[in-house]
Amino acid sequence: MHKIDLGLVEMTMDVMKYAIDRISATEREIGKPIKAEELKNLVGETITNKGIGGENAFNLWKKHLANANVQIDHPRHLAFVPASPTRAAIMFDLVTSASSIHGAYWMEGAGGIFCENEAMKWIVSLTGLPKGAFGVFTSGGTAANLSALVTAREHFREKEENRGKKGLIIASIGAHSSVKAMAKVIDVDILLVDSEESLHQSELEETIASLSLEQRNRLFAVVATGGTTNAGIIDDLNGIAAVCKQQNLWFHVDAAYGGGALVADSVRHLFNGIEQADSITIDPHKWMFSPYDCGAVLYKDMQLAKNAHSQQGSYLDIFKDEGAHGFNPTDYQIQLTRRVRGLPLWFSLAMHGTDRYKEAVERGLELAQIAGKMIEEHPNLELVREPSLSCVLYRRKGWKPEDYTHWTYENHKKGFALVTPTKYKLGNTYETVSRFCFINPDTTEKDIEQILKTME
């Protein structure tokens, strides 16, 4: 298994050819899931005592398994938050894998961590966080939110009187599900302001004023969203920052999806206030065109993150020794062993320069405006709200929830497009509507036109 022979060389060439084909393909099927039993029937037993051979296994992958995945970077995949890694980043993901770098400590991963940090400096510069602020790459937005909330909670509990308290955080119902899920993981309560529109200073003030004294004493953080997943809405970051400052609360901004738009001059002002955050989540695997998985957590005060996350163990002491001095990513987030997942982003940034990133993000924003206009001009379609960032919510007049579901499946089954419905809160009710989220700059106006045509 660990020997080099002709078979290995041949397999390397096959894998490289596959990767080149995948990276350079312009026309691709969108891909769709197949039931596990059907896949089993197609591929049979693959894990055996003696192995089925690399060529055989790879052929099964190419013939039956690869297309049972949605091509997340297909130009007509506009569901959830799509992805569109640059070809340079994908290529360097191969290099990252081939390099076997342990990215926890500088002692073992200095070269890779150096590159990650160069990319991180650029991300931090987009936020306007003050000098001393920095960040680390995580497996995604969920892990970034968790790492930030653990830091906030530990900071809160530094005070003697807070030691045994169960914490409480405030967010809005527009916050991503991972914020609610991670509150469970760290066993803190979460109070959700009942509005899917931008969370404003006054609403936050009212919510805090409505707390009992016992609740107020447990409240330690507010999570604002810099681009809700459902509708691209940005909370009133300046107003929320002011409240957090005045009330001595941790201010976290979840910009996992929207954070990429910090680079875009046309919308940068919408994020004003983000520079006052104590911590920020941004996912390069969303709108910074990195391959999965790559999230990032940024902190104003890195020492607080280190206090919360640095692991101790006799076998780890060497990493903290004089000769190993350097930046240790493990100290600032929940993982010990980690892939240097910021490395593909670094390569792509270095190769293309940051202006190309700006252009690609601006294109996503533009596509949302174009789609908005097409919808407004269409007799059977209506915007639910103005497009925000790259999200467009719209309704097909007269359609019931099941019509949207049927339409989604039909287009997906045909291999044409994947556009999924969502629910949006209007007044006291949730309406099922259709949703576009644009990330991929290769999506064309014709793609949008054709998709809308299938709703006629």
Angstrom distance (rounded) from CA 263 to CA 367: 17
Nearest C-alpha neighbor of 367 from the set 419, 438, 436, 417: 438
Q: At what angle do helices 141-156 and 302-309 cross, to 10 degrees?
A: 90
**Which residues ranging from 331 to 350 are in contact with ligand PLP (CB under 6 A)?**
none
With residue 241 as reference, give the H or E element that holds it.
helix 237-247
Q: Is 390 in the site for ligand PLP (CB under 6 A)?
A: no
Please report how close the Cβ of residue 286 comes to ligand PLP at its closest, in angstroms.
7
Phi, psi dihedral angles at 409 (to 5 degrees): -65, -40
**Which residue, 274 or 455, has its beta carbon nearer to ligand PLP?**
274
Options 30-38, 71-79, 137-145, 444-452: segment touching ligand PLP (CB under 6 A): 137-145
Options 14-22, 136-144, 146-154, 372-380: segment touching ligand PLP (CB under 6 A): 136-144
Write the interaction track for ligand PLP spanning residues 164-203; mark x where CB under 6 A is met and - where it is not: ------------x-x-------------------------
Q: Is 257 in the site for ligand PLP (CB under 6 A)?
A: yes
Please report how close the Cβ of residue 178 comes to ligand PLP at its closest, in angstroms.
4
Q: Is 135 in the site for ligand PLP (CB under 6 A)?
A: no
Please report how close the Cβ of residue 140 comes to ligand PLP at its closest, in angstroms.
3
Determine if residue 7 is left, alpha or beta; phi over 0 gives left, psi from -120 to 50 gives alpha, anything else beta. alpha
Options 235-243, 254-262, 347-355, 430-438: segment touching ligand PLP (CB under 6 A): 254-262
**Which residues ranging from 43 to 72 are in contact with ligand PLP (CB under 6 A)?**
none
User: For the stretch 138-158, what's the b/e string if a residue is b when 16 or more beta carbons lie within 10 angstroms of its beta carbon?
Assistant: bbbbbbbbbbbbbbbbebbbe
Asked if residues 227 and 258 have their Cβ atoms less than 8 Å apart, the reply is yes
CA distances from 396 to 383, 432, 444 (A): 9, 10, 21
Q: Is 443 in the site for ligand PLP (CB under 6 A)?
A: no
Q: Is 256 in the site for ligand PLP (CB under 6 A)?
A: yes
Asked if residues 168 and 215 have their Cβ atoms less than 8 Å apart, the reply is yes
Q: Is 254 in the site for ligand PLP (CB under 6 A)?
A: yes
Options 251-259, 310-318, 355-363, 383-391: segment touching ligand PLP (CB under 6 A): 251-259
Secondary structure letter of residue 385 according to DSSP: S
Options 97-105, 233-241, 249-257, 309-317: segment touching ligand PLP (CB under 6 A): 249-257
**Which residue, 220 or 257, has its beta carbon nearer to ligand PLP?**
257
**Which residues ranging from 268 to 287 are in contact with ligand PLP (CB under 6 A)?**
283
- 310's CB contacts (< 8 A; 6+ apart) are 328, 330, 331
Nearest C-alpha neighbor of 354 from the set 296, 297, 295, 288: 288
**Which residue, 236 or 254, has its beta carbon nearer to ligand PLP?**
254
Options 124-132, 140-148, 340-348, 417-425: segment touching ligand PLP (CB under 6 A): 140-148
Q: At what angle do helices 87-99 and 6-24 cross, to 10 degrees?
A: 160
SS3 392: strand
Which residues bind to ligand PLP, rule: CB under 6 A? Answer: 81, 140-142, 145, 176, 178, 225, 229, 254, 256-257, 283, 295
